[in-house]
Amino acid sequence: MPRVKLNIPSTFLYSFDLEIRVDDLNYGQHLGNEMILVYAQQTRIQWLQSLDYSELSIEGKSIIQGDASIVYLSEGHLNDKLKISLFLGEIGNASFELYYSLQKQESKTLLAKAKTGIIFYDYVSKKTQEIPEKFRQKLLDAKAGLSN
């Protein structure tokens, strides 16, 4: 039984399909634990690109990952096809939460759940920044069920 509890919120943002590659495996011949964060970043990058943003350019500001939690639920193996879904959690003044659900497409088995805390950050001054208003509105619209 996992010690960390992650409840995936209902605000769906984005999903994409991915196949586990040989480079993603560890010595136990299953998906390496570190790959969950790699997949989370890939999901986040693709979602931002779908909104014409990048991690370094969201309304003139950048983001950085401040924290992460992962709950491992089953093993992933070479050539397993996954659906990675992204969900929106809490929104703060300078940060917001993203949740990830990694599910095997064929069996519908949940492989893992993850959460990342995303902070708006100025890489030059090394300080946090407020979420840009236009982007905040996109997040609030998503929470309200409006399209971006």
Confidence band (pLDDT; 50, 70, 90) for 146?
Answer: confident
| CATH for 11-143, options being 3.40.50.970, 3.40.190.10, 3.10.129.10, 3.40.50.280 | 3.10.129.10
Confidence band (pLDDT; 50, 70, 90) for 40?
Answer: very high
Q: What is the pTM of this model?
A: 0.95
Strands (DSSP E) along the chain, which ranges?
A: 11-19, 62-72, 81-91, 95-104, 110-122, 127-128
pLDDT of residue 147: 65
Write the pLDDT tens digit of every residue in 63-103. 999 999 999 999 999 999 999 999 999 999 999 999 999 99
User: Residue ranges of the alpha helices (H) in 3-132?
Assistant: 35-50
Confidence band (pLDDT; 50, 70, 90) for 148?
Answer: low
The label of the residue with tokens 């390496």 reads: 32
